[in-house]
Structure 1
Amino acid sequence: MRPADGPVPGLRVTNSGEELLELILEPYGSDHWMRPGETFVIWALTAEDVGLFEVAHEPGAITVWAPSHAFVGDEDGNEIDCGHHRPPPSGPFRLRLP
């Protein structure tokens, strides 16, 4: 395979639950919160990396490990910022994150 001319959709993730679902992209540690019914796509910069994602699931969160540079985007390739739909902190002593 040769490198792609641009980002390549590598992994589609849909929140089919009824509550927010945290999608974490490693090794960057970026968090992206999915509302019920929302679909995000992990985009790779090369076609060679598409089949190399590793996925771990735990209650309320999915972690995706990318082998090289990747980003979370919508189905059209528009990047979704870290902290997308992040819930506000709970408790009186928590700092608000950007």
Structure 2
Amino acid sequence: MPSIRVGNDTDRMLTVRVEPLGEDFWLKPGERLTLVARAPEGPDSGEPPFEVTQHDSGVNVWSHLDVEPVAYDGSGTEVHCGHQRPAEPPPPGDETEYLLSSPANARRLAESIEELEGGGRTPAPT
């Protein structure tokens, strides 16, 4: 089965987001994550199973729609969404990525969006 390995050669946590499912995996410095493409039986679409993009706060791995990506850590153990997600917010500069990936912060994120959009509420009469 086709696979791709993502490594963290930085000195800080690296977020690997697998799309279109929105799964997040967090790698400590020096760690690796292998994504294996499990595909249903049938004709091959001919498309590469993965596409990788890098951005300031991590890496996105897009999987082809007919592929089920399965993640394994460096020891070959299957890992799941939220793998090593920090319990505490990361250092300044990484807050946006943390807010987007932490279910514990979902309410805070929703409130921030509501505030940015003007609250979506009609002010109370004075």
- Could you say which residue in structure 2 is the equivalent of 1:52? 49
C-alpha displacement of 1:60: 2.4
Structure 2 unaligned segments of length 5 or more: list them: 90-101, 106-126
- The answer for the alignment partner of 2:17 in structure 1 is 24
Count of residue pairs brought into register by the alignment: 87
Among 5, 20, 38, which residue is 1:12 paired with?
5
**Compared with structure 1, are the counterparts of its residues 75 and 9 closer, same or farther at alpha carbon in structure 2 (3 Å cutoff)?**
farther
Q: Secondary structure at the match of 2:104?
A: coil
Hey, what does 1:39 align to over in structure 2?
A: 32
1:29-82 CA-to-partner distances (Å, cap 9, x unmatched) read 110000000000011114x58933111110121000111211211256532121
**Bigger shift: 73-82 or 31-40?**
73-82
Q: Which runs of 4+ in 1 moved over 6 A?
A: none
The code of the aligned residue for 2:11 comes to: E
* Structure 1 residue runs without a partner (length 5+): 1-7
Higher Cα radius of gyration: 2
Residue 69 of structure 2 corresponds to 70
The Cα RMSD (Å) is 2.7
Query: TM-score scaled by structure 1?
Result: 0.73
Larger RCO: Structure 1 or Structure 2 (Cα < 8 Å, ≥ 6 residues apart)?
A: 1
In structure 1, what is the Cα distance between the partners aligned to 2:68 and 2:52? 16
Identical aligned pairs, as a percentage? 31
